[in-house]
Amino acid sequence: MKIIVLKFGGTSVGTTDRIKKVAKIIAKYKKKYNVIVLSSAMSGVTNNLINLSRKISNNFSDSEYDVLVSSGEQMSCALISGELINQGFNSRSWMSWQIPINTEGKYKFSRINKINKSKILSYLKKGGIPIITGFQGINNKNRITTIGRGGTDASAIMFAKFFNAEKCIIYTDVDGVYSTDPNKLKSARKIKVISYEEMLEMASLGAKVMQPHSIQDARLNRVDIEVRSSFTDNEGTLITKRKNIINSKIITGISNTTNDAKVTLLGIRDKPGIAASIFKPLSENSINVDMVVQNISANGKETDLTFTIKSEDLSRTKKIILQNKKINFRDLIFDKNVSKVSIIGVGMVTTPGVTYRMFQSLAKQKINIQVISTSEIKISVLINKKNVRKAISALHKEFKLNK
Ligand code: ASP
Ligand code: MG
């Protein structure tokens, strides 16, 4: 019998009633498949555990943090198994260390590198339904680790990889990936199929459906993912390789960020090494710089530089720049009222004029573009926050995403 991996997110297991519904979904698949289940903690539980650690200390030990915050998954897995047992199924919960699921890297941000298959395989052979804790693993010191917030997505994908599952189904509280945020635009449409590359851009650019790391894992390991809701029976979105997709649309989706800030240095020296001197201390302080533009210098001596960061990094960035003795500038300007809007689609690789159409439709709405950046399958613009809805709506129409 074929193997299928089912992942349930926090809201899907948020109450005991929800867990009963989840058990019904599992039972349905059990008729046709060997089912492996990965579960997140009940919604809110992980956050509560993190808050407890903060009450002890803001410098809470990383290794104990992982033991603490991964405990929510133990609870939800036991509840799911308990319900399945009630219904007469052969089921049990598995903690990461009982399998084991091996991870490498630092506490809080480990990555799964190996899953021992033997116990789970023999359990499946006996007809059992394993309910496995997402988010956690063990390291080579036999200590508990976690793999980053929202990590159960990645756990599920790694199980699908190691067990060569036919598919990995991510059950969440939305019924798929949409052309843009349905809360921002009513005419947003569900995307039937999307490539890993597009999904990765959508996820890291602000569509919060799946954890970006996990999509990268799926892409590298060629795991097909279906995202669907445990609250409805609607068909979800399939995330797969580009080759499997026949698509008539140039643009697949539009995403936006909400917490960007723009930093501009006016009148910096135009000579080699200046940009490096500005960005070196930022990178040393783990401040992620996103978009960057430098003006061409009119007089050959001076130029201006603009870049964007997450707004929570703004005050640290300010301090670092002001303390930086390697650079001189005339003025330093900050703007917190900016957002990045991006159009994403593999179709733009082969279609000319996409950039023009994007800029033209923003111009028609009198929306000023402050910074631009592009990749092979994405064009991003930085605009005033207040224009985000208008921009998304205009672009959604321009690229016929309503249809
Ligand atoms: N419970 C963990 C979190 O809230 C992992 C997950 O939900 O996937 O981040
Ligand atoms: Mg979660």
Q: Band of the pLDDT at 239, cuts 50, 70, 90?
A: very high
- Residue range 145-187, pLDDT digits in tens: 999 999 999 999 999 999 999 999 999 988 899 999 888 899 9
Mutate which of 37, 45, 149, 153 to test ligand 1's pocket (most atoms within 8 Å of Cβ)? 149
> For the chain, what is the HEC assignment?
CCEEEEEECCCCCCCHHHHHHHHHHHHHHHCCCEEEEEECCCCCHHHHHHHHHHHHCCCCCHHHHHHHHCHHHHHHHHHHHHHHHHCCCCEEEECHHHCCEEEECCCCCCEEEEECCHHHHHHHHCCCEEEEECCEEECCCCCEEECCCCCHHHHHHHHHHHCCCCEEEEEECCCCCECCCCCCCCCCCECCEEEHHHHHHHHHCCCCCCCHHHHHHHHHHCCCEEEEECCCCCCCEEEECHHHCCCCCCCCEEEECCCEEEEEEEEEECCCCHHHHHHHHHHHCCCCCCCEEECCCCCCCEEEEEEEEEHHHHHHHHHHHHHCCCCCCCEEEEEEEEEEEEEECHHHHCCCCHHHHHHHHHHHCCCCCCEEEEECCEEEEEEEHHHHHHHHHHHHHHCCCCC
Question: Among 96, 152, 172, which residue has the most ligand 1 atoms within 8 Å of its CB, making it the best to mutate?
Answer: 152
pLDDT band at 232 (very low <50, low <70, confident <90, very high): very high
Report the separation in Å between the CA atom of 204 and the middle of ligand 1, taken as the mean of its atom positions. 17
pLDDT in tens, 94-115: 999 999 999 999 999 999 999 9
Atom of ligand 1 nearest to the CA of 151: 8
Residue nearest to atom 6 of ligand 1 (CA): 150
Mutation pick for ligand 1 pocket among 13, 46, 173, 214 (CB with most ligand atoms within 8 Å): 46
pLDDT for residue 244: 85
Provide the pLDDT for residue 277. 94
Tell me which ligand sits closest to the C-alpha of residue 39. 1
Task: Decide: 130 in ligand 1 pocket, CB within 6 A.
Answer: no
Relative to the CA of 9, which ligand 1 atom is closest? 7
Report d(CA 242, CA 199) in Å as an integer.
Answer: 11
| CB 257 less than 6 A from any atom of ligand 1 | no
Return the domain boundaries, the chain. 3-173
Among 43, 109, 112, 135, residue to substitute to test ligand 1 (most atoms within 8 Å of Cβ): 135
- 11 ligand 1 Cβ < 6 A: no
Kindly state the average pLDDT of the residues 239-263: 89
Q: How far is the CA of 136 from the centre of ligand 1 (A)?
A: 10
Ligand nearest to the CA of 69: 1
Q: Does the CB atom of residue 172 touch ligand 1 within 6 A?
A: no
> Which residue's CA is minimally distant from atom 9 of ligand 1?
149
Kindly state if the Cβ of 150 falls inside 6 Å of ligand 1.
yes
* Predicted confidence (pLDDT) at residue 4 exceeds the cutoff of 90: yes
Would the CB of 12 count as within 6 Å of ligand 1? no
Mean pLDDT of 7-34: 97
Q: What is the pLDDT of residues 270-321, one digit of tens each?
A: 888 988 999 999 999 999 999 999 887 777 788 999 999 999 999 999 999 9
- CB 151 near ligand 1, within 6 Å: yes
Q: What pLDDT is recorded for position 267?
A: 93
Mean pLDDT of 244-250: 81
Residue 245 has pLDDT above 90, yes or no: no
Going by alpha carbons, the residue nearest to atom 5 of ligand 1 is 150
Is 40 close to ligand 1, i.e. is its CB under 6 Å away?
A: yes
Q: Which ligand is nearest to the CA of 76?
A: 1
pTM given for the model = 0.88
Q: Of 116, 149, 156, which Cα lies nearest the Cα of 134?
A: 156
Between 146 and 249, where is the model more confident? 146
For residue 152, the CA-to-ligand 1 centroid distance in Å is 6
Spacing, Cα 342 to ligand 2 middle (Å): 25
Task: Label residue 208 by pLDDT band (50, 70, 90).
Answer: confident
Q: How confident is the model at residue 215 (pLDDT cuts 50, 70, 90)?
A: very high
- Which residue shows structure tokens 């867990």? 19
Please state which CATH number belongs to domain 3-173.
3.40.1160.10
Mean pLDDT, the chain, as a whole number? 94
Question: Does the C-beta of 14 come closer than 6 Å to ligand 1?
Answer: no
